[in-house]
Amino acid sequence: MRALAKTHAGPGLELIDRAEPECGPSDVKIKVLAAGLCGTDLHLEQWDDWAAGQVHPPMVIGHEFFGEIVEVGADVTSCSVGQKASGEGHVVCGMCRNCRAGRRQMCIAVDSVGVNRDGAFAEYVIVPDTNVWVQPDDMRPEVGAVFDPLGNATHTALMFPLVGEDVLITGAGPIGVMGAAIARHAGARYIVVTDVSDYRLDLARRAGADMVVNVANTRIHEAQTTLGMTEGFDVALEMSGNPAALRETIENMNHGGRIALLGLPKEAFAIDFGRVITHMLTIRGVYGREMFETWYAASAMMHTSELLRQTVGSVITHTVPLEEWPRAFEAARSGECGKVVLDIAGVL
């Protein structure tokens, strides 16, 4: 099969031919139709310090995917050949304290598809049956491929109650844009989204943001003035991983405000903990999705929210054949895009 792999410890990827993966007794083999390109994949291609500490080449990368089940192991009863499916990319140990207590998203020994085990930028991928999320037969492949980041957006946006709250979202990448639509669906009052890309801010505006702010030339407090806010934001979703974004977020929070952090910074940085303490702020880290409550919530919202369905569709701005993968990575790095999806099987 064709597969996009990290073949050596260093920058770059290669499109290679390799044997199809074999299905174990509790595994499911999925023919990949479409796969989403994530910021993690950019780190792996560039081979930064984080990537070097995580990946042991050779490794097929890619963890956001949708396809058709073509084989199930002898012990599998939860799904069947012919069904369409996405997959939860975090394979958990099942035996640590968190796993045994039902907090699988907090597993201390997680094995990530496309990072620690072969991934989905390939014609076939293997995952445990417990990681399969069966999708409707009429699911569009490119939409099914972004359920992983939709889950990130759902987990982060619903970390705190949003009804009647003023919400700040820093970072208008695909997850931030989907987060805006979820916040609108969940009953937020004002939603303000920031970024330095006008292209992405336009996507956020169409996703339900009341105001977008290009922080390259405008400050967040000006949005408060424009909207008539007098006490600061109640909830913030930090999606960018940019130190300046978190610092400015803290400056604009109401007393008792709550901040959910999803954006992963490249290195450690300082923040004003004095303000965190005196303003009694809650800061909570978010990683991945809650297994599997987030998947149920995301699927339900896709069924009930026309705005979210439109947003998920519109946030997919580029579909690129697998053999043209450098063009996909170039688009994702440019910032002039939403979600980039690789067409693995020639179906888009």
Catalytic positions are 40, 43
What tokens does 107 get?
Answer: 């597993």
Q: Which residue has the tokens 């979703």?
A: 237
For 241, list phi and psi in degrees, rounded to 5: 75, 10
What number of helices (H) and strands (E) belong to the chain? 13, 18
Amino acid at 170: T
Beta bridge partners of 177: none
The answer to whether the beta carbons of residues 133 and 88 sit under 8 Å apart is yes
Q: How do strand 316-321 and strand 64-72 relate by DSSP bridges? A: unpaired
What is the C-alpha separation between 137 and 8, in angstroms, rounded?
Answer: 38
Rg of the chain, C-alpha, whole Å? 20
Strands (E), 154-239: 167-170, 191-195, 211-214, 233-238
Which one, of 307, 315, 177, 327, lies nearest residue 237 by Cα? 177
What is the C-alpha separation between 237 and 188, in angstroms, rounded?
Answer: 13
The answer to whether the beta carbons of residues 276 and 249 sit under 8 Å apart is no
Q: Which residue has the tokens 């896709």?
A: 302
CA 308 to chain centre: 15
What tokens does 225 get?
Answer: 């003035």
What tokens does 103 get?
Answer: 């907090």
